[in-house]
Amino acid sequence: MLTKQRSSRSSRLGLLIGLAGVGVGLATGFLIGGTNPLYLGLALGAIPFLFYFFTKFEQAVMGLLILRGSLDAFSGQQIPAAFAIALDFLTLLYVTVKLLTGQPVRVDNFWWFFAGWVILQGLWVILLPLGGVGLDASFLPESIREWVRLFSWAMVYLLVMQLKDKLSPEKVISGLFLSLVIPITVALMQMFLPSLLPPMLSVGGGDLGSMVSDAGSRIRGTFGVANTFATFVLLFIGLTWWKVKWVQHRLSWLVLLGLLAFFFVSTKSLFSLIMLAVFVVVLIAPKLSFLNLIGGIFLFMLVIALFASTEFGQQRLSSIANTPLLNPDIDISRAILLSYGDHNSFNWRLSQWNLLLNRWQQFPVLGYGLGLSIQAGGNGFLPHNDYIRALIEGGIVGFVTYIAFFVAQAVHLVQLMRSAPRKSRQRDLCLTLLAILASIPVGMITENIWSHTTLFFYWWTLFAVVGWNWNEQQTEEKFAMKQPQFKSG
């Protein structure tokens, strides 16, 4: 009986895959009529990949997760957007097949909250053509694009959840480190061999070769902006820190930690130093010991010293003295006036925030529409403050949902940490993610962290994995002693 059920499921699965293949084939037929050859090639390649995705699900998903870290280099060709749409399609198709064949779909309570939150954000997309927000229906494509970006994060979470009980959490996290290979390789080339970079590789609308023509430029890896690379590296600094504690051979991971700290400083992002400080404080506070304190201080001081050793870093640090933060003779009004000629990035931010807050007062309740802060400002720049962005795009209502979203993440991690065994890998990873989560809202005060799509792609991957059943009963002391364990039967 069981064999017949499995055979029936397999036949239905094969039928659904075949139908999906026919659908891709029909789409290919339309493309043959003379449209973009790149899209034609992608459509033809999608057919065998679709079969590979279903037959080798674990390997295919891990490959997609690893690949995402290198795609921002092709933003000019819309490859990251195409990747996100394809990932959404694959996730929905896979879940549909599992439901139709009577197989369980893995979700947790937070995913339902996440999905509901994303659906709620669609309210601002619906209100746009109805005249319920500050801008009109002509901006609908931009608003839809932003909602799809948020929807893709939920799909990443859902897709990774389907790996539960198929791959171990440690194996998934270890695999994610492979996503560092290409960004770090490109970063090294930017520093030492810029002439060898492909001249036609577009990053953020610019030419990668020209963007790194001198070795003193800000390092950005495969990312269009150095700040985006900084938050990506910070995430993996946290993961590497976690790995160092739980691996037997620590030297290679300590080397990687030092390398990541070097690249982190090479981005020359001042806001990221504050994020690192918050990360270190939160990480060592619950289990403060002399060793942890020394390690945290050493890591932070190393980064600060490397940053201050460069001319650019010294200029960034000294520029703070000409802002209301450290100069009592400069108030906010004067700083805004100075921003038009002093080239001080912080004073410019004050001017930008003042502009957007004045615009927000015209539509304070529901704002101007999802993803439309640039259009609302009218000067072509993002707010450089994600709280003001949430306020001007969603109004007071959107701002409340935005804050609630981050509070819910923190609550979920705390609940997981309390339920995990003491001194376990899972509990320690929860603390590491809490430290990263605490640093992100701090960075959002002066930076467009919400636009760092790759950071959140890997964040939601880890957020899904940390909630799995790790089956850990082994304490830190037992792990340190490396006592052999045997399973009976």
Instruction: Render pLDDT for 253-278 as a digit per residue (tens, 0 to 9).
Output: 999 999 998 899 888 888 888 898 88
pLDDT of residue 27: 47
Q: Which residue has the tokens 């309740």?
A: 365
Residues shown for the chain: 489
Lowest mean pLDDT among 302-311, 358-367, 463-472: 302-311
* Residue 238 in this model has a pLDDT that exceeds 70: yes
Looking at residue 310, what DSSP letter applies? S
pLDDT of residue 208: 33
**Whole-number Å distance between alpha carbons of 304 and 315:** 14
* Residue 28 in this model has a pLDDT that exceeds 50: no
pLDDT of residue 173: 96
Instruction: Say if CB 230 and CB 264 are below 8 A apart.
Output: yes
Split at pLDDT 50, 70, 90, the class of 474 is: very low
The answer for residues whose C-beta is within 8 angstroms of residue 86's C-beta and 6 or more apart is 46
The answer for residues whose C-beta is within 8 angstroms of residue 431's C-beta and 6 or more apart is 282, 283, 286, 417
pLDDT of residue 141: 94
Could you tell me which residue, 325 or 107, shows the higher pLDDT? Answer: 107
pLDDT of residue 74: 87
Reported as a single tens digit per residue, the pLDDT across 171-180 is 999 999 999 9
Split at pLDDT 50, 70, 90, the class of 87 is: very high
Mean pLDDT of 50-55: 86
Instruction: Say if CB 98 and CB 106 are below 8 A apart.
Output: no
Q: What end-to-end distance do the CA atoms of the chain give, in Å? A: 27
- On average, the pLDDT of the chain sits at 80
**Whole-number Å distance between alpha carbons of 208 and 445:** 29
Split at pLDDT 50, 70, 90, the class of 45 is: low
pLDDT of residue 48: 80
Could you tell me which residue, 464 or 336, shows the higher pLDDT? Answer: 464
DSSP of 170-219? HHHHHHHGGGGHHHHHHHHHHHH-GGGS-TT-EETTEEHHHHTSSTTSPP
pLDDT of residue 3: 52
CB atoms within 10 A of CB 293: 13
Q: Which residue has the tokens 């529409």?
A: 369
Could you tell me which residue, 412 or 53, shows the higher pLDDT? Answer: 412
pLDDT of residue 483: 41
Reported as a single tens digit per residue, the pLDDT across 420-444 is 998 899 999 999 999 999 999 999 9
Residue % of the chain over a pLDDT of 90:
50
* Residue 206 in this model has a pLDDT that exceeds 50: no
pLDDT of residue 480: 44
Q: Which residue has the tokens 């539509």?
A: 363
Lowest mean pLDDT among 55-69, 292-306, 312-326: 312-326
**Whole-number Å distance between alpha carbons of 202 and 225:** 12
The C-alpha angle 89, 145, 449, rounded to 5 degrees, equals 105
Q: Is 124 left (phi over 0), alpha (psi -120 to 50) or beta?
A: alpha
**Whole-number Å distance between alpha carbons of 38 and 295:** 50
